[in-house]
Amino acid sequence: MLWGPRPTAPGITRFPLWAPDCDAVALEIEGQPALAMTRAPDGWFVAEAPIGPGARYRFRIAPDLAIPDPASRRQAVDVHGFSVVTAPAEFAWQHRDWRGRPWHEAVLYEVHVGAMGGFAGVEQALPRLRDLGVTAIELMPVAAFPGQRNWGYDGVLPFAPHPGYGTPEALKRLVDVAHGLGLMIILDVVYNHFGPDGAYLHTCAKRFFDPARQTGWGEAIAFSEPAVAAYFEENARYWLDEFRFDGLRFDAVHAIEPEAWLRSLPAKLRATCPGRHIHLILENEHNAARLLRPDAASDGFDAQWNDDGHNALHAMLTGENESYYAPFAEHASTKVARALAEGFVFQGPPAARGEPSAHLPPTAFVLFLQNHDQIGNRAFGERLTQLAPPGALAAATALLLLTPQIPLLFMGEEWGATSPFLFFTDHNAELAPLVREGRRREFARFAAFSDPKIRDRIPDPNAEASFIASIPNPAEADGPPHREILALHRHLLAIRHREIMPRLQGTRALGAEATGPASVLARWSLGDGALLTIAMNCGAQVVPCRAAGTLLFETSPGATAALAGGHLPGFCTVALLEQAP
């Protein structure tokens, strides 16, 4: 590995830094004289020092500027201060024989580590989530960011777990405990940009960025540079190997170019961890089906977040038709049907984006009703419990948890949490007002926020109260209606584990159709030849719809008989399973 400190002998550590813009670099070790680093080929500087784990260090790249290690494994205090040498081999893994679980067994549960009480707080929640029927915990980004509160997408030190969440050892313990409970752990990583405060690579390596290509976060990252490509490839290997994560979710890869780097990544990462199930998931606005694996024997990414499926379901459930919901609002149920049958709604011309995806297995798509983006990017962070009728939400939940696509729940969704999930940060005094006012300007194009007085009510991301309000309260689950919502999730996931998971490999969609403005009928041939049929009606009115078979689940008694008679009641989902002959 090119980046980051590593031992070369007992008590000796080697420190590299890629700083092609610097004439000289010094290694500063706390409590010791500065050590001049040796220039190496291709813009690298290196030094060896007689220090080991626990030593604090930084790089002096100019008389008036010392920076943390861009590949720091641990920060002493914050992203601006000293980096700390770690001892990766010293953690005593209790479940080193864990090899993971196959992808078709995934039931994802997305969490914000800070809102769950840090690494230790997530660890405490693991038995509860295992008992719910979750099989994979997906952590929002944990890379060090400025301040104490952040979604994680403002990370600036991708190798260093955020100090406020706990130590690297605490994160390893979380992974280890999860494995002991039979749970996978997936980590969300951000390779498309750095946050606006605390990223120092531009001060010593301008070639890390491509000024000719701009993204929504500024200059694009220059993956064509070998040192840059190595930085992110090594980061992915680091999380999978040293921390033994079971997979990674790659944020907004549509901002990564050249695509060749991305396409080559899955094979390299799986080769790093032979004998283990390694799952790689994309977020990609381009709907590039070519990046996804058509089967487990091929290269490529396991799955993509199915934003198209979410957006169509959300528009159907809520009637919202502004911003990115606008293309999904008209004939929303037809778009839901296409998402169930083919994966992506938008699959290229005449759409501006996408590629045909019907050849991919349903497990190539991660489906969800809510996630951090879809809740938190709302002005007031409302969950669907505040936006959709309870009966409609229950019907959609049944579809989500029984569909052959891979389901994802967002923390608190399983009991219908009432807490919002707001956008929150902890930026410095210069950035904080810019972020607050910029966010309020974003909502000016929405009819509901055309009045500046209403926009001024949008919570300040930098206020600690915005973070506190976003912490879900599991005690809610003990009272109505949350107790009933939780029971529904448990029941549906038990059915998924018993009847659907064992048959998912080899599943193919047989088609889906809209049966009303808020209703769909979809069918799949499961891997053992059994036929799965799901009829969902998120509207209040009875709709014409006909299907017959052996009952797997119905939202309300008598719904299956009504469906056999040619009608589907309002706010209802029926699932039927016909065994193979």
Residue pair 535/560 in contact (Cβ under 8 Å)? The answer is no
Rounded Cα distance, 7 and 9, in Å? 6
What phi and psi values does residue 27 have, to the nearest 5 degrees? -90, 120
Residue pair 187/239 in contact (Cβ under 8 Å)? The answer is yes
Residues 6+ apart with CB under 8 A from 569: 537, 542, 556, 558, 559, 562
SS3 57: strand
Rounded Cα distance, 543 and 281, in Å? 36
Determine the length of the chain. 581
Q: What angle do CA 573, 577, 581 make, to 5 degrees?
A: 160
Residue pair 155/75 in contact (Cβ under 8 Å)? The answer is no
* Residues carrying an active site annotation: 251, 283
Burial class (CB in 10 A: 0-12, 13-18, 19+), 13: buried
Residue pair 375/340 in contact (Cβ under 8 Å)? The answer is no
Paired with 533 in beta bridges are 523, 576
The residue whose two tokens read 């088609």 is 511
Residues 6+ apart with CB under 8 A from 124: 117
Rounded to the nearest angstrom, the gap between the alpha carbon of residue 252 and the centroid of all alpha carbons in its chain is 10
Q: Residue 295: count other Cβ atoms within 10 Å of its Cβ.
A: 11
The residue whose two tokens read 């199915």 is 306
